[in-house]
Amino acid sequence: MTLTVGKPAPSSPESGTGARGFWPLRDLPVVGWLAGVVVVSFIHPFIPAPRWLMIHLLLLGAAGHSILVWSRYFADTLARLPATPRREQSQRLVVFNLGVLVVATGIVTDVWPLVVAGAVAVVAAVLWHVATIVRGLRGALASRFSFTLHFYVAAGLLLPVGVTLGTWLATNPGEPVETRLRLAHASINVLGWIGLTVLGTILTLGPTMLRTRIVEGAEARTRRALLVLLGGIAVIVAATLVDVVPLVAAGLAVYAFGAGMVAWGVVQAGRAKPPTSFPTWSLAAGIAWLLALLLWTAARVALAGTWAEAGDVFDAVVPYLAAGFVAQVLLGALSYLVPVVMGGGPAAVRSMNHDLDAGGALRVSLTNLGLVVCILPVPSLVRVITSLLVLVALAAFVPVLMRAVRRRHRAEAVPVTEPRPRGQNTGLAAVGLALVMVAVALGGSLDVASLGMEKSAADGVAATGETVEVTVEARDMRFTPSSITVDAGDRLVITVKNTDPVEVHDLVLETGHDSGRLAPGEEAVIDVGVVGRDLDGWCSVVGHRQMGMVLAIDAIGGADAAPPAAADPDGTASDGTEGGHDAHAMGSSDHGSPDGPAADTVIPDPVLGPVPQGRLHKHTFTITEEMREVAPGVVQERWMYNGSAPGPTLHGKVGDVFEITLVNNGRSGHSIDFHAGQRAPDKVMVTIPPGETLVYRFKATRSGIWMYHCSSMPMTAHISAGLFGAVVIEPRDLPPVDKSYVLVQSELYYDAAGGPVDMAKLQDEKPDAVVFNGYHNAYAHEPLKVKAGERVRFWLLDAGPNRALSFHVVGGQFDRTWFEGDYQLGSASSPSKEGGAQALGLLAAQGGFVEMVLTEPGRYPIVNHIMIDAERGAYGTVEVTK
């Protein structure tokens, strides 16, 4: 049977399906959502834009809008219903798109009420949509394809369930609930809302796009498939409820079987008349990705032993479902349906089809070959470059569509008498293949291991011809297995998998072989070659080797292990791994030079200004890893919040709310922990990989000078490297003073090659420098200036991570001291009349303030009176003038 579902509907003023009502309202939001995905993808490294925002813009925004439009269109056509009134359809789309926009805003800002409000609007629009389809089914004439509407109704009823789970998920419920919620939410929305709609439509849309008949038996298979598909989703959700991980794999397999039942009819139609244009290629590729990813995910989840591992699998596959399945089906369907619905006669439709097919073979080949490369265990740089090609190929649809619509409205029809020659399409596909190959070659050439710089591990031993392949997992600061045994002369191939949920890891061998940095879920292959001696390996991320991330390769019958490549004191290799960059050669182990700070060095301003207005304080903290001078002539890599170590000082009053958006632009996993507010650590004090963001919100309920710091392991390394700072929450009765300063003591462990920290010195508690506000003798170089008789307050924090602070002003006495939340000397109403204090002692992470009045002009040293630390750099000067 031949079914024409693409016949243009009437263009009456009340019709939502004609050309007059089509472009301005119906599909312009899709272009907007797609453009949003592209924009967020490119600005993601510079502003807070979590990966899940991009996923929601595509799956909820672009795909959801298209489902509301086109399932309504197919329902009217297949069930022979009256055209949907344009006003009703427009109102429904406005409610839906506003809801998606509010949900996206809530996700970015981490404001749960916004997520709830947006979710309510989305659910209302979809249930309204479902109600109109059900009402139409009851009054429709008998149609052999009305069962397609059952798919739409089931999909629409599942979405409110998925949205409700997503709204719950936005509250950050924590484990063990969060991962199971995420799996159920993703399964219901992607496989239910989107999957059922697509599978219910392709039975008729696929053959129509191919201009061929629906094969015999396809309708009956599709009818039966709906129950199978719903059963698969039910099994997945039930698995999350009864806490049985293998049931998720079973549910995915059932769903894949149901999807295969539907796809069978389309495949048979394609065999009769193979795809020859972008719309049909894109639709076919999308369905292929759906089936392949379902089976791959089912297999991986079946091997997962925990919900965390199953969640990692889902997290890894969702972007490929979004790009490979959803995006390609959406773009293919729109490329076919837009010209048909806009109408204008056969010549106009053919002309617009021709415009939308521009570069089709190139776009399809780039998208699919690029996705294949990205899903393989390739180096991270190869994946980044190739994913950009995929993004460009998908995003090209927007300008192509805009151009086609503009030409259509201007009646610039191009005469089309025959399809593009097969040779032209083949050539464009070959160009796509060539571009992907160039991306792989470029990424590989920039990877150290691919340059052939590794040293041979053969050590003169003859090759046996045997190959040993081993998989090593990096997780929880360990390699598993932690040792590999081979016969001398065997070739060794190691597949390194980062199964850690949050941390970035790598594997570096003493020969120079390097897996490259691996984000959670990524893997890489190291071909060690012939092994003739024992070898050592380690993770080169700062501090990870010291925490036990080491690998031993034992060669039976080989020579003793040769001395490893020169290593920095923190345990990382000096030939291209952490701390071995050319820029680090600026490092020095000297405590400084008499010449003073470099011209471009900025000594931190210690002045504490007034409390900012308002009770809500929003800040963005961006983590970077950069070279900075820490003492005259000493340049080290520093890990910084907003370009400084210590990070920005936050200032507020009791009852104020702080909302910090953390952006990790470093090369390692990082986090943040604010002592100034009470929060569950597993919700906000979590490590985020490079490129990711986190929103940390807390209410300051108690006064004090509170520490904040990176809590990623090893914490000593991350704090010593510079990721710490202060939050000053003033007591309600704090009296005014003339000058107020903030001094944060920390320690520096100079790395000989300029790296962030020497782990050996750190573990031995032998700092090279102990400093105020991150620089050696900072305020000896730029003294603090006060006038005689002014009351001065020093807010003090010991950031450690190890050394204590005994703060003293040489020549002065304190008449008011405040330690860890309460006055020790004097009071809020008055300083002490007779008693005094000479020092305020603080252990690591403790804080307070001291006050004094210096009446005689002169130079007053400020020191840590643990004098060895004053001599190490915890020193400055107060200049008192008349």
Q: DSSP per residue over 599-645, as a string?
A: TT--PPP-B--PPPSSSEEEEEEEEEEEEEEEETTEEEEEEEETTBS
- SS3 of 825-878: the string is ECCCCCCCCCCCECCEEECCCCEEEEEEECCCCEEEEEEECCHHHHHCCCEEEE
542 Rama sector, left if φ>0, alpha if ψ -120 to 50, beta otherwise? beta
Residue 568: the pLDDT is: 42
Task: Report the percent of the chain where pLDDT is more than 70.
Answer: 85
Dump pLDDT digits (tens) for 650-707: 999 999 999 999 999 988 889 999 999 999 888 899 999 888 899 999 999 999 999 9
Burial class (CB in 10 A: 0-12, 13-18, 19+), 450: middle
Per-chain mean pLDDT for the chain: 83
Buried b / exposed e across 619-636, counting CB within 10 Å, b at 16+? eebbbbbeebbbbbbbbb
Q: What is the pLDDT of residues 60-77, one digit of tens each?
A: 888 888 888 888 888 877
Q: How far is CA 498 from CA 125, 309, 315, 440, in A?
A: 42, 11, 14, 21
Q: Which residues pair with 475 in a beta bridge?
A: 478
Confidence of residue 8 (pLDDT cuts 50, 70, 90): very low
So what's the pLDDT on residue 24? 40
Beta carbons within 8 Å of 308's beta carbon, 6+ residues apart: 175, 179, 501
Lowest mean pLDDT among 225-234, 374-383, 483-492, 814-823: 374-383
CA end-to-end span of the chain: 100
Q: How do residues 422-439 score in pLDDT, each as one tens digit?
A: 557 788 888 888 888 888
Answer yes or no: pTM beyond 0.85. no
pLDDT band for position 816 (cuts 50, 70, 90):
very high
CA distances (Å), 222 to each of 148, 199, 227, in order? 9, 8, 9
Residue with tokens 């089906």: 329
Choose from 341-355, 532-546, 814-828 the range with maximum mean pLDDT. Answer: 814-828
Backbone angles phi, psi at 810, to 5 degrees: -65, 125
Does pLDDT of 472 surpass 60?
Answer: yes
Span of 375-384, 470-479, 518-527 with lowest mean pLDDT: 375-384
Neighbours of 600 (CB within 10 A): 7
pLDDT at 16 over 60: no
